[in-house]
């Protein structure tokens, strides 16, 4: 069984590379994300309640729901964690040490090997279908409710909004450029089932997706295709560009004149924004449900 809900929140860092770069994206979704690291704080954020007795009841109900393995909340947390826990742990630890408190990465850049476009596109696509699966599990929907997930992107808020913005910035626009959607769809369509199965991120979450390899590959494609409108609308409305994103990141992390694909590779191994904000998203959905059931 997963760690208790309140422990998952308590173990989230208050300040590290992940929280720093996420704060750098606040301009895209102003005020949506707060780095909530306690169940009580989440309850107050969701409900606005201050009565300690009621807060206690809501917390107990949320914990009970999370502990029920028949619900999908634990599986959603598993997915968010697995997406970020893909090899490279030693490299990430070394990089974190090199960053130090000032988050400088210059001395470490020459040790980073950017991914080829194909590998980057597959990783980004797998992260996105993982997001869809976690959304379904934590919302009580069937595991292939692509349409519901695609529609939800238009109203993404709080932790969901900052995670969506981070995925677009760090996994799509910075490494792949403005035409990233065509790249993602093109690379996925060219994949054989075996190539997809060999992807380390996909291998971690495959058991959480319905069907065999062919059906899972189709799920990746259909998730991207049905979400394309809301993805491109968000990018356009927020004015997201490689240059603008890099300028913002430079305000928080010293990347100097490093190549964009190198910056993307550094962010990939030094942050765990999926896990961090994913745990917060699941906790928010649990608290909202618990509050409605009290």
* Residue 106's pLDDT band (cuts 50, 70, 90): very low
Residue 219 lies in a domain: yes
Residue 125: closest CA among 114, 117, 136, 113 = 117
* Residue 94's pLDDT band (cuts 50, 70, 90): very low
Residue 104 lies in a domain: yes
Please tell me the distance from the alpha carbon of residue 38 to that of residue 52, in angstroms, as a whole number: 14
Domain that holds residue 258: 72-275
Residue 34 lies in a domain: no
* Residue 257's pLDDT band (cuts 50, 70, 90): low
Residue 23 lies in a domain: no
Residue 92 lies in a domain: yes
Chain segment 139-191, per-residue pLDDT in tens: 876 655 888 899 999 999 999 999 999 999 999 998 899 999 999 999 988 88
* Residue 231's pLDDT band (cuts 50, 70, 90): very high
Neighbours of 203 (CB within 10 A): 14
Tell me the average pLDDT of the chain. Answer: 85
Residue 228 lies in a domain: yes
Say if pTM beats, i.e. exceeds, 0.95.
no
Q: What is the mean pLDDT of residues 222-236?
A: 95
Q: Roughly how many angstroms between the first and final C-alpha of the chain, as a whole number?
A: 25
Residue 171 lies in a domain: yes
Q: How many domains does the chain have?
A: 1
Residue 67 lies in a domain: no
């Amino acid at each position: 069984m997963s760690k208790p809900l309140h422990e998952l929140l308590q173990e989230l860092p208050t300040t590290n590379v992940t929280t720093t770069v996420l704060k750098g994206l606040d301009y895209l979704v102003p005020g949506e994300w707060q780095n909530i690291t306690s169940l009580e704080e989440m309850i107050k954020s969701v409900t606005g309640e201050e009565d300690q007795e009621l807060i206690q009841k809501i917390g107990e109900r949320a914990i009970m729901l999370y502990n029920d393995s028949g619900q999908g909340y634990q599986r959603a947390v598993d997915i968010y964690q697995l997406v970020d826990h893909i090899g490279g742990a030693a490299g990430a630890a070394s990089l974190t040490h090199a960053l130090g408190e000032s988050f400088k990465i210059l001395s470490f850049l020459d040790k980073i090997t950017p991914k080829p476009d194909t590998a980057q596109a597959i990783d980004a696509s797998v992260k996105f279908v993982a997001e869809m699966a976690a959304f379904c599990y934590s919302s009580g929907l069937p595991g292939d409710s692509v349409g519901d997930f695609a529609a939800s992107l238009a109203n993404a808020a709080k932790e969901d909004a900052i995670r969506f913005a981070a995925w677009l910035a760090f996994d799509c626009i910075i490494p792949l450029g403005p035409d990233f959607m065509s790249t993602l769809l093109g690379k996925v369509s060219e994949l054989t089932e075996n190539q997809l199965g060999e992807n380390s991120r996909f291998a971690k979450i495959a058991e959480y997706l319905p069907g065999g390899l062919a059906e899972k590959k189709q799920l990746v494609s259909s998730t991207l295709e049905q979400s394309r409108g809301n993805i491109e609308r968000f990018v356009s409305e927020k004015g997201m560009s490689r240059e603008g994103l890099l300028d913002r990141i430079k305000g928080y992390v010293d990347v100097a004149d490093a190549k964009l694909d190198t910056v993307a590779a550094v962010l990939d191994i030094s942050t765990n924004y999926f896990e961090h904000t994913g745990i917060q998203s699941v906790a928010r959905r649990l608290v909202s449900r618990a509050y409605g059931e009290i």
